[in-house]
Amino acid sequence: MKRFALLFAVLSFAVLPLAAQKLGSQSVQNTLWSGFGLPDVDDDGNAKDDNFTFAGITDTVQARVDVSKFTMDGMLSWSAFPNLSGSPCNSFSVRNGYDFPDRALTQFLFLGEKRETAPFYINFIVHPLDGFDAGMGTKMGWSVGPEPYTDGLPWLPLSHVVQGDLSRGAPDAGDVRGFIKYGNYYADHALGARYKYKDLFIVGAGIDSESKIGDGADGLKANVGFQIKPIDFLLLAVAYQNIFIKDGNLYTGASIFINDNFKIDAWFGLDGIGIKESSALSYKKMWGTGAAVFIKFGKLPLWIRPEAGFSKYIDSDYTNAFYVGGRVNWDITERMHLGAWSSAAWGAEDKRWKDSSATKDYNGGFVWNIRPDFTFDVNDRHSVTASFEYEVKKVPNGDTRNKYVFGFFWKYNRAF
């Protein structure tokens, strides 16, 4: 098994020049997914397929190896039956063979979501001193503070839509807008370094791979993050993305630990700092805030985490957006787990469209999503999950779209 993981890391390095750290310990994990249902619309708002559709299968393997003071961590995902764009198939023929698409096929892409996922990542981390890490990767995921609940990477069984499935961009008649990027990730697709002193604080910095220096280039995309836990019941965090360019993102967050059964998270973000309001990217100028509460019911194997968020565009022509959501989880037995995620979101609108006689019924749109799931742990290494996701989206021009997907996951995890 060690030889396999090491070989995987070496082969991944041959494919990509950079690297990332997602598994928490030295191990191999494989997730196999298949789904079917009714997909939604394409990027132009046209119906993809009004008929029942099979999504094929997607297999995702991750491996992490720790050797002395070095860590190698990678992932590779492949899909059978997709077309070359990574969208779901519309027939049972393997017309494109076994392909490595430009986006990993997940339940979110099958539902028409815009959550893109690279089909691979690779990270290399060095630990020269206790508490100090330095490395480079395509998905390092180094962040500080709390954020809207994601519950795992997109190909994992419990992952779900974020911020009520609001979309990013200027409000228009195409989608339900109001998603805000909280800049608490200081090193993701980047070079990064961080220092952690016990449980007291973390300080880190990163240089994004999209940095371009020279005539006409955006400049150096550098990020910093800091997190401190001065007392047992309080955690504070602050981060800033794109320090040297005019597209900065400020993040602050806090967690209050009342006890083991009750925690409060809150966050605030200010995006598009430095972008001129006359710029074509002025829709990025916005601020948002949100909060969540984790509640475990005493000795019962039951917990809930409701959350809510609010975002506001700086442009006075755009109204605000709002979402509410939450997850409930019940451990029926030690090996059987039942849970569900549900959310609702109200999008922002462009008041200039609303005032137009041609679009007098225009509004910001609405999204409702529910995702129950059931997991059975076969043993310490194998688990299977069945999930169902249903979403209703009423877009600003008044059209209502329904979509659903049944998904089945098998996950294998082995530490070594």
pLDDT band at 97 (very low <50, low <70, confident <90, very high): very low
Range of the domain at 364: 2-415
Q: Residue 17: pLDDT above 60?
A: no
242 φψ region: left (φ > 0), alpha (ψ -120 to 50), beta (else): left
> In the prediction, which pLDDT does 91 show?
34
CB 313 within 8 A of CB 286: yes
User: Count of CB atoms within 10 A of residue 265's CB?
Assistant: 21
pLDDT band, very low/low/confident/very high, at 174 (cuts 50, 70, 90): confident
Q: Which two tokens stand for residue 4?
A: 């396999």
Per-residue tokens: 137: 């990767």
Q: What's the CATH code of the domain at 62? A: 2.40.160.10
Mean pLDDT, to the nearest integer, of 5-17? 32
pLDDT band at residue 358 under the 50/70/90 scheme: low
CA distance to 150, 238, 270, 288, 348, per residue, from 183 (Å)? 15, 9, 8, 11, 21
Q: How far apart are CA 209 and CA 211, in angstroms?
A: 5
In degrees to the nearest 10, what's the CA dihedral of 354, 273, 293, 234? -160
Tens of pLDDT, residue by residue over 345-354, are: 999 998 877 6
Per-residue pLDDT tens digits for 296-329: 998 899 999 999 999 999 999 899 999 999 999 9
pLDDT for 116 equals: 53
- Domain total in the chain: 1
- pLDDT tens digits, one per residue of 34-90: 988 887 644 444 445 456 677 778 889 999 999 999 999 999 887 775 443 444 443
Euclidean distance between CA atoms 151 and 241, whole angstroms: 23
CA gap 193, 205 in Å, rounded: 6
First to last CA, the chain: 8
The rounded distance, in Å, linking the Cα atoms of 411 and 366 is 34
pLDDT at 407 exceeding the cut of 50: yes
At 31, which amino acid appears?
Answer: T
